[in-house]
Amino acid sequence: MNIENIEAFVYVNHYGSFNKAAEVLFLSQPSVTARIQTLERELDCKVFDRLGKQIALTEKGKQFLPYAQQIMQTFQKGKLHMQQRKTVPHELRIGATVSVSNYLIPSLLPRLKQRYPEIHIKLTTSSTDDLVNKLLNKEIDLAFVRKVVHPSLISYKFYEDPIKLYVYEGHPFTQKSSVSIEEIGFQPLVFFECGSLDWMRVHRVFDSLDRQPNIEYFVDNSESAKKLVLERAGICFLPGLCVEEEVREEKLFPIDFEEVNGITLQTNLIARNGEHAMFAESLMEIGESLFG
């Protein structure tokens, strides 16, 4: 089976268009169509339904998609190892979301610098969407972002940060062995919104209530949310990394709440296909040693 046919299939599915896939792959539209037709002959089934200009995966196409994505990822990893540059660049440009910049980067970068003392590291802090665009435009080399999928990027699962409810010292919940969603809904709440799909699961916890939860503050960064809790303005669901120091100093307290068990904020390390694998693998090794 030709890897180029599988590549065309993955790109057409991602962009929802033969024309757009052709543009990204630097091919003509008939060439992409021919590759898909060849793949369909090899699989002995249709992978796309075509309704005018609209396309959609067939059931067989949906079944084949995860295998195709895995094949492409394995191929890219092999290609990286075979073509990896032997020289170290003068500068490495790393992007990170605000939380990663605040809580992970200070531990990561000095250890990366120990491995590559000759490089200069430039850090850019921004949103996931902006960092993905900067990476695709070659304005940065690597990025720590929320979970994303893009055919031109390779993604490494870097860190999962558990989300829990945190309250301030002396709050009544610290004296209880468990709390209910109804009790939490009556409390003044600070809601930190980071745009992650995982974070939306926290919001949906309150869908079972007959009344709206008492949300008094919406904030877009974890530091502001944390400081509002420290000022006793309310209680808040927060990722664990941002409150490690305050929990250790017994200024904030995690509250066990079954409905949010297993909800985490996932951070991925992403790079352009075929580039900077050496640094990505080093960062993954450093992350494993630091955060397990």
Both 183 and 139 in one domain: the answer is no
Do residues 51 and 122 share a domain? no
Model confidence pLDDT, tens digit, residues 20-74 = 999 888 889 999 999 999 999 999 999 999 877 789 999 999 999 999 999 988 8
CATH code where residue 105 lies: 3.40.190.10
Query: Total domain count for the chain?
Result: 3
* CATH at residue 78: 1.10.10.10
First to last CA, the chain: 38
Residue 232 and residue 252 in one domain: yes
Q: Are residues 47 and 118 in the same domain?
A: no
149 and 220 share one domain: no
> Do 149 and 114 belong to one domain?
yes
Residue 84 has pLDDT above 60, yes or no: no
pLDDT-derived band at 76 (thresholds 50, 70, 90) equals confident
Q: Are residues 199 and 179 in the same domain?
A: yes
Residues 9 and 23 occupy one common structural domain? yes
pLDDT tens digits along 133-142:
999 999 999 9
* 277 and 240 both lie in a single domain: no
Last residue of a domain, one of 58, 83, 108: 83
For 194-221, the pLDDT digits (tens) are: 555 556 777 777 877 788 888 899 888 8
Structural domain boundaries, residue 233: 160-265
pTM as predicted: 0.65
188 with 255, same domain: the answer is: yes
Same domain for 143 and 273: yes
3 state SS for the chain:
CCHHHHHHHHHHHHHCCHHHHHHHHCCCHHHHHHHHHHHHHHHCCCCEEEECCEEEECHHHHHHHHHHHHHHHHHHHHHHHHHCCCCCCCEEEEEECHHHHHHCHHHHHHHHHHHCCCCEEEEEECCHHHHHHHHHCCCCCEEEEECCCCCCEEEEEEEEEEEEEEEECCCHHHHCCCCCHHHHHHCCEEEECCCCHHHHHHHHHHHHCCCCCCEEEEECCHHHHHHHHHCCCCEEEEEHHHHHHHHHCCCEEEECCHHHCCCEEEEEEEEECCCCHHHHHHHHHHHHHHHC
Would you place residue 291 in the very low, low, confident or very high pLDDT band (cuts 50, 70, 90)? confident
Q: Residues 165, 260: one domain? A: yes
How confident is the model at residue 197, as a pLDDT? 53
